């Protein structure tokens, strides 16, 4: 009898363990069926209440996973073995994913809310006709800083960052294109430069910035700057807006040498299992009230023209976060530089990070 109980316990425990492991695997790798939708997005890039609202409205359960760079996201999708239904890459990554056959076409007839997007964010060169991608947020890369911690000093350019008075005061966002781009711009080169001598010069210039760099970090950059752990941060504009709402002493500048103008769009990766649900989710995020709620929560700029009506005037009229067409034209959008060149950018950035340590 004792043996029988033991056997029963073993069988019971293993069955449970198996159930647990499979459900864990499903959720960690993104399991999508008809009633689930796996969304793969940047960290801190959605109001969690909107996920709940979508689930309630549609009866679809959302499995939400995050990434912190286009490169990490692309690798994961290209590897396969995942079932992401919606992802949110930036423009150069969209162009690369299209080239590699990693995206499914989007059916515009299922997106009645697409009409709310400002036409200046549609039909851009990385995806003519928006066949594969629908605008989510847009912005710039710039400098957020605390004038009080710098004794009232103003920062206006990338080159100001090399000032020896900024020793151990700068936090950098952990992105190869962003940081290589700022070094290139500081040398008055394009942030899409493919001349290897220029790229090496940019890497040497970054190495020379090392004494001023406190750390290269992920999403925690916002908390560190708001808490005045460092005086300066190289960040995406929306992160700056969020930091500034936490600590009003900080300011955000678009450096005078120029910088990156980026567009993050929603796509349906090849890995999708719930294509219908993916369209429902995209259309839900395009709803002007939802888009405004999302923009207000995360701090990023919405491409949804109708949503702007629901946002505070002082936000949408702030040129730092909603640069005019005239200013935007002077900024550069990342181009898809091809596999080899992108790998070279990553390699130099990695070498710089090692040099820093």
Binding residues: 92
Q: How far apart are CA 220 and CA 173, in angstroms?
A: 10
For ligand N2P, the closer CB: 219 or 276: 219
Compare residues 47 and 219 and give the one whose CB is closer to ligand N2P: 219
C-beta closer to ligand N2P: residue 45 or 345: 45
- Sequential DSSP letters for 12-33: HHHHHHHHHHHHHHHHHHT---
| DSSP letter, residue 172 | E
Nearest approach, Cβ of 307 to ligand N2P (angstroms)?
18
DSSP class per residue in 215-249 = EEESTTHHHHHHTTS-SEEEEEHHHHHHHHHH-TT
Q: How far is the CB of 262 from ligand N2P (least distance, A)?
A: 5
Residue for token digits 């499914």? 104
Contact residues toward ligand N2P (CB under 6 A) are: 42-45, 90, 219, 236, 239, 262, 264
Give the Cβ contact number of residue 43 at 10 Å.
Answer: 11
User: For ligand N2P, which is the closer residue by CB, 121 or 236?
Assistant: 236
**How far apart, in Å, are the Cα atoms of 108 and each of 36, 41, 118, 132, 291?**
22, 21, 16, 10, 18
Tokens for 8, please give them: 């029963």
Closer by beta carbon to ligand N2P, 177 or else 203: 177
The minimum distance between CB 178 and ligand N2P, in angstroms, equals 9
Instruction: Please enumerate, by residue number, every residue annotated as part of a binding site for spermidine.
Output: 92
CB distance 334 to 181 below 8 Å:
yes
- Report how far residue 151's alpha carbon sits from residue 115's, in angstroms, rounded to the nearest whole number: 48
45 vs 344, beta carbon nearer ligand N2P? 45
Closest-by-Cβ residue to ligand N2P is 42
Cα–Cα dist 52/307, whole Å: 20
Minimum CB separation of residue 66 from ligand N2P in Å reads: 9
Q: Please, how many CA atoms are within 13 Å of residue 327, restricted to the half-sphere of its CB?
A: 17
For 18, 32, 69, the CA distances from 45, given in Å and listed in that order, are 34, 21, 13
| Phi (first) and psi of residue 330, to 5 degrees | -85, -10
Q: C-beta of 100: minimal distance to ligand N2P in Å? A: 20
Q: How far is the CB of 189 from ligand N2P (least distance, A)?
A: 21
Question: Do residues 322 and 316 touch, judged by C-beta distance below 8 A?
Answer: yes
Pairing of strands 170-173, 232-236: parallel
Tell me how far, at minimum, the Cβ of 149 lies from ligand N2P, in Å.
Answer: 23
Residue closer to ligand N2P, measured from CB, 85 or 178: 178
The nearest distance, CB 231 to ligand N2P, in angstroms, is 21
For tokens 């080159």, what's the residue?
A: 159
Looking at the Cβ atoms of 67 and 145, the one nearer to ligand N2P is: 67
- The answer to whether 48 and 298 are in contact (CB under 8 A) is no
């Amino acid at each position: 009898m004792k043996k029988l109980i033991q056997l029963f316990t073993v069988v019971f425990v293993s069955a449970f363990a198996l159930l647990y492991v499979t459900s864990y695997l499903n959720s960690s790798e993104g399991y999508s069926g008809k009633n689930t939708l796996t969304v793969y997005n940047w960290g801190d890039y959605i109001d969690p209440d909107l996920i709940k609202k979508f689930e309630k409205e549609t009866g679809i359960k959302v499995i939400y996973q995050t990434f912190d760079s286009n490169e990490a996201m692309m690798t994961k999708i290209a590897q396969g073995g995942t079932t992401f239904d919606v992802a949110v890459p930036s423009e150069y990554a969209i162009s690369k994913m299209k080239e590699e056959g990693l995206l499914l076409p989007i059916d515009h007839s299922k997106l009645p809310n697409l009409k709310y997007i400002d036409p200046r964010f549609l039909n851009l060169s990385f995806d003519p006709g928006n066949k594969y991608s629908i605008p989510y947020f847009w912005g710039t890369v710039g400098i957020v800083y605390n004038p009080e911690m710098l004794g009232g000093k103003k920062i206006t350019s990338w080159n100001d960052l090399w000032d020896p008075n900024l020793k151990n005061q700068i936090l950098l966002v952990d992105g190869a294109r962003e940081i290589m781009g700022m070094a290139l711009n500081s040398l008055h080169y394009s942030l899409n430069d493919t001349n290897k001598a220029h790229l090496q010069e940019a890497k040497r210039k970054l190495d020379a910035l090392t004494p001023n760099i406190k750390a290269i970090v992920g999403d925690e950059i916002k908390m560190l700057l708001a808490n005045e752990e460092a005086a300066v941060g190289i960040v995406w504009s929306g992160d700056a807006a969020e930091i500034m709402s936490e600590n009003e002493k900080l300011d955000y500048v678009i450096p005078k040498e120029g910088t990156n103008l980026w567009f993050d769009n929603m796509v349906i990766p090849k890995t999708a299992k719930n294509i219908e649900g993916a369209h429902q989710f995209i259309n839900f995020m395009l709803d002007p009230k939802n888009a405004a709620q999302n923009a207000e929560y995360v701090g990023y700029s919405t491409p949804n023209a109708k949503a702007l009506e629901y946002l505070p005037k002082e936000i949408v009229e702030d040129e730092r976060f909603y640069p005019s067409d005239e200013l935007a034209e002077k900024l550069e959008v990342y181009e898809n530089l091809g596999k080899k060149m992108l790998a070279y950018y990553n390699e130099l950035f990695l070498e710089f990070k090692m040099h820093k340590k």
